[in-house]
Structure 1
């Protein structure tokens, strides 16, 4: 612990899982901590460092440390994050992540930080305790999905019918007003990751290892706020018998960046609140059939739209996967983009009225602080649960109805029309609830109070050791 301008500061190491949905929130948290004068050592692979450097707002306080990943047979050379590999190879990247343990331990011994923040690196709490470092589990996917899946009462095993049945029901003592539930086909998506067993796990599944790490760590913090997930934060405190600290939504400051001129001009040609924006994050890659059904459903609305998705599996570009005649039919009212876009600036644009999302927690946090109406198409385990939270409990969104295989173009169009049709009663209630929640979240001082409280709790942890 160092002393600066009359206030104590600390040194924290960050070691996130190798997916952009984890790496980026860890850096947002690093920026917030560095803003208060704290020093950060951020551990991640070298190529990924170059992707993140532009988001480092405090290079004098946040230092990137390159992580060496071991060679794993079958893992493509240079693969560093989940975005770099196909779904079928994701387990190999997980092996490389766990295989970096010795390197990370040596870094931590050299650094001797006050804290190490981690997520899936289950071994961190026990090692940190041995060398006198406080461990902080940082959950980036919200409290509700964590409360449903990552609790000691679960015991997730692969190809276990009992597991599949149990995951379709909430765990015991979940808040009574909870609407969280997984359907059978969603359970099939949720099980594989959590049921994996790793070579150094002693026969334990990923789920058991993560649960154990939450039991053993010194503190749990979650990227969320009590205005959204109050009862689930309380539930997790009871489950793990320790404080669960919301950090706030940790959205980056966008006031000093401008939307690229070409896109700003295009959006500006449409009336306020009329444009549909659709994006599924950096990990989701659809099949050609899913991609075409999605863009056809959006076309059916008759509204202007911007779709930003990765090219479907087997295609180099989104253009070559578009349905026959699609471009000619939509003309200038529709754009389908296959690369990175400035999502926060797009969501804040006055012409954008609807956001069709995969329910990634970061994307939803951005949208709740803007005026866009939410249409949800969850693709993976925690996304289903976040969707139930927003559409079922908070009633600030519409979840698209799904058939056994995927979402039909008709159901996509219907869900969008609920929130975009001014005469729809259900849509009116959703808009009113969204407006009310936005008011709570954007109230002056709310975000800063979460971070101030969080830093105070970290200082208290340090003081316990003095």
Structure 2
């Protein structure tokens, strides 16, 4: 290995969104000659190795997920489990510490990128390895929820606390509705792993790191980055947008044929990721909202709570009323390729950070329907700060949405004579051109590499 290159170990949380995000930054670093050792659950490697564009420099190190009581056999990522069992998977990941120590001693990387494993910085320090918290959550979300200004070591987080941002949080459109604040309070204060809450885990992970790296750029989230650097008194580094590389595969023929039967920019595409599972009534309202638009649609959704298949959960008579123009698909689809298809004009998204990145570099308009966690704040950034999408209106108290609200949001971004649609389309074009500038991404990644080199010398 050259004196101008370094060796990074990657150990992200066992969620597909985190794993793929770490693979994207791995590709950017490997493109510049740096060596990557990616520690990943053994049976998940074959599912994600197609993302590895530099197999000569990126090596997958298989990790066996420890078996613990209550965790179903062969479960390796959050996609294999209901949300209620994610804490058990975190417990299992924590139990890999001895194996990770052996691996790091053998690999001898210069640094390790991690996120949820709060014990990794102390381990890395003992081994003389720099520990970088590569955060897949936006700086706005971290700053809003767990800024040191909230004094979370002194008092528990409450629903009332989260309705509004911390006192010196940058001016923005970010506020939480009561149902969102209630859900986030519960999630952050409940155990996530054995004997430690999600919030405590994040506070330790951030505070113990040698620096925090965010997958964003100053032009989009600069004030939030400055706020966090000031609050945490820690170096905040930016990797830039870290756009996914173009897919090497081609779109399945059945989708090529189906999408190709419609006019350009007329199809609604809806996908809610590998973990979002709706309640049955909300699943039906969503689909009825698409039906109400009169537009063709493709919805890739998991079966709702209590249903075995998407077909069994469809509204009564739905197949007859949407025949020829509506498809509800209960399995994985090639999201990146579908988003770039000329027939797709609207993307209804749960606002996961990976999905938003893919959408921002395509031409389809954004309808935002956040479901949990950081997705609420992502939605406010997109609809309020950047004004590139329209959020589906929900009841503030319980978060319930109607088919009429879904239809209204879709029409707002799709209708040519919509004033709101004109604004979001104009802004989307501006940010899309900005993000696709090759000089932008290169400058951020090159700057990150330079700062990492400087850290290794200090």
TM-score range, shorter chain: over 0.9
CA pair 249-458 structure 1, distance change in 2 beyond 3 A: same
Q: Which residue number corresponds to residue 282 of structure 2? A: 290
Aligned partners of 2:232, 2:94: CA distance in 1, in Å? 24
Question: 1:35-184, aligned counterparts within 5 Å?
Answer: 35-154=31-150, 163-176=158-171, 178-184=172-178
Alignment of 1:21-420 (within 5 A): 21-154=17-150, 163-176=158-171, 178-197=172-191, 205-254=197-246, 256-403=248-395, 404-420=398-414
User: Within 2, Cα distance between the matches of 1:257 and 1:83?
Assistant: 22
Deviations 1:326-365 (A, max 9, x none): 1111111111111111111111111111110000011011
Deviations 1:401-437 (A, max 9, x none): 1122521111000111101111111111111111111
* Cα drift, residue 300 of structure 1: 0.3
Shift of 1:156: 5.7
Q: Is the 8 A contact 1:227 1:440 kept in 2?
A: no
Does the 8 Å CA contact 2:347/2:359 hold for their aligned counterparts?
A: yes
Instruction: Give the whole-Å Cα distance in 1 for the aligned partners of 2:257 and 2:364.
Output: 19
Distance of 1:99 and 1:325 partners within structure 2: 49
1:373-395 residue CA offsets vs partner (Å, 9 max, x unmatched): 11100001200001011111111
When normalised by structure 1's length, the TM-score is 0.94
How big is each residue's C-alpha offset from its partner over 1:193-238, in whole Å with a ceiling of 9 and x where there is no partner? 321346765xx53312322321221121111122321211111111
Q: Is the 8 A contact 1:156 1:191 kept in 2?
A: no
Q: Any conservation in 2 of the 1:151–1:211 contact (CA below 8 Å)?
A: no
Following the alignment from structure 2 to structure 1, what is the Cα–Cα distance between the partners of residues 280 and 360?
30
For the residue of structure 2 that corresponds to 1:416, the secondary structure is: helix
Cα distance, 1:270–1:237 mapped onto 2, change above 3 Å: same
Aligned length: 455
SS at match of 2:150: coil
Partners of 1:410 and 1:200 lie apart in 2 by 43
Q: How big is each residue's C-alpha offset from its partner over 1:60-96, in whole Å with a ceiling of 9 and x where there is no partner?
A: 2111112232222111111111111112212111111
The two structures, once aligned, show a CA RMSD in angstroms of 1.8
Q: Which moved more, 1:231-240 or 1:15-24?
A: 231-240
CA deviation after TM superposition for structure 1 residue 155, in Å: 5.5
Give, in angstroms, the shift of residue 243 of structure 1: 2.5
In structure 1, list runs of 5 or more residues that go unmatched.
none
Match of 1:447 among 437, 441, 444: 441
2:15 alignment partner, one of 16, 19, 23: 19
User: Relative to 1, partners in 2 of residues 1:8 and 1:405: Cα closer, same or farther, differing over 3 Å?
Assistant: closer
Kept in 1, the 8 Å contact 2:87–2:193? The answer is: no
Identify the residue that residue 419 of structure 2 maps to in structure 1: 425
- CA distance in 2: counterparts of 1:150 and 1:190, whole angstroms: 11
Counterpart of 2:39 in 1: which secondary structure? strand
So what's the TM-score if we normalise by structure 2? 0.95
Q: Using a 3 Å threshold, how does the CA distance of structure 1 residues 413 and 447 change in structure 2: closer, same or farther?
A: same
The 3 A distance-change label for structure 1 pair 198 and 382 is: closer
